[in-house]
A and B are shown apart, each in its own frame.
Chain A
Amino acid sequence: MKIIIDAVGNVLMWSADGDPAPGDGRTSVELTHDQETALLEQTTIPNNGLIFRNGSFSMIAPPPPPPPLTVDQKLAAVGLTPADLKQALGLS
């Protein structure tokens, strides 16, 4: 398994069988069996990315869930405005 990391260890890509191209300023790292196991364990835990430093993985914590949508946003998602709703309900 290979990972591509940037200068500070952020895991940019990973592949079990492939050999992705690292690109400028990035490094391709061939993982040991234990490191492969550690990476796959990380993917079972909620995270928003991985960091690989000194041979070990750590996680970037996932962001907090977004606030619930407002009524205006929900209506906009189906192409309506609050005015449309008021009119349909006989409130305008």
Chain B
Amino acid sequence: MTTPAAALPVLPVGADDRSIIERVNALIRWFNRPDLFIPSYAADTGTGAAYAIAPSSDVKQYEVGQVYEFQAAHANTSAAPTLAVQGLPAGTITRINGTALSLGDIPAGPVTVICTSTTPTFALLTPYAAAAATTYLGADVALNNTASFFNGPNTGTIGGNGQTWWITAKASIRDSAGAAGIGVQIHNGTSAIDTGSGTTWAANTELTIPLGAIVALTAPATFTLQAKDPISTSGVLLTTGSASGVSNRATSITAVRLA
């Protein structure tokens, strides 16, 4: 790297202390210019399990506190991906608290890590990709079997091991036969993570039941809002509430990644 010379005039013979101090401080500021630092950015040439960058041949060894920015060619396909800088030994990348990453915490794109030990180890400084989505029911679901839960909207497959998500849902229900007790739940494919119940007070009256839970995932999962009318076969999970004035938003499920 070529560094331009500092354009500082020579001090006159017999310069006073103040002039000398000012000149020394100017030199310190010159050498601390950020644009004179060793480059810390490079495009990644490795894989989603072993990233590799070569920002500058001036990188000779790892030091705690070094920050490297790189353009990851792939999202991380391992919970313990490694990074090797300039041909030096590879070290594991963790979250800033030292815990393992989730798959996809490193996106294919810009990433920033900090060297946390000369072993080496690195911690991810770039925030994980935020994710939040709501799925609405688009068509009424007849609850025409008093023994069964019926599927409403679902989140699709979300998350990964080590991630924390908030799953919330609301179910709007009507029964044309009369007052009905309704059961609802959020199901993860194996078991219910949250349940609720309520009673419509007369035929054709509507009931909305909210649900919600925070879940720590150990694997990708799909969450589904389910409803059951154990009283009659005339219950309906509604796509549109009669009183809201807005259609197709009466029943929904929402997933928000928290960590």
Say yes or no: is B134 at the interface (Cβ < 8 Å to chain A).
Answer: yes
**Which residues from B are CB-within-8-Å of A77?**
179, 201-202
Of B132, B242, B247, B255, most A-chain CB atoms within 10 Å: B247
Whether the Cβ atoms of A12 and B247 lie closer than 8 Å is: no
The distance in angstroms between the C-alpha atoms of A5 and B135, with both chains bound, is 13
Query: What is the number of residues of chain B that contact chain A, defined by CB distance less than 8 Å?
Result: 31
Whether the Cβ atoms of A18 and B135 lie closer than 8 Å is: yes
Q: Which of A23, A44, A49 contacts B239 (CB 8 A)?
A: A49
Whether the Cβ atoms of B239 and A48 lie closer than 8 Å is: yes
Residue of A nearest to B239 (CB): A49
Cβ proximity bits B225-241 to A, threshold 8 Å, 1 near / 0 not: 00000000000000110
How far is the CB of A59 from the nearest CB of chain B, in Å?
A: 8
Whether the Cβ atoms of B247 and A45 lie closer than 8 Å is: yes
Cβ proximity bits B149-164 to A, threshold 8 Å, 1 near / 0 not: 0010111110000000
Say yes or no: is B139 at the interface (Cβ < 8 Å to chain A).
Answer: yes
Q: Which of A16, A20, A66 contacts B154 (CB 8 A)?
A: A20
Residue of A nearest to B251 (CB): A13
Q: Which of B137, B157, B242 contacts A19 (CB 8 A)?
A: B157
Q: Which of A16, A19, A23, A49 contacts B139 (CB 8 A)?
A: A49
23 residue pairs from A and B, CB less than 8 Å apart:
A10-B139, A11-B139, A13-B137, A14-B248, A16-B133, A17-B133, A18-B135, A18-B156, A18-B255, A20-B153, A21-B156, A23-B151, A43-B246, A43-B247, A45-B247, A46-B247, A48-B239, A48-B247, A62-B240, A73-B202, A74-B202, A77-B179, A77-B201
Interface residues of A (CB under 8 A from B): 3-4, 10-21, 23, 42-50, 60, 62, 65-66, 69, 73-74, 76-77
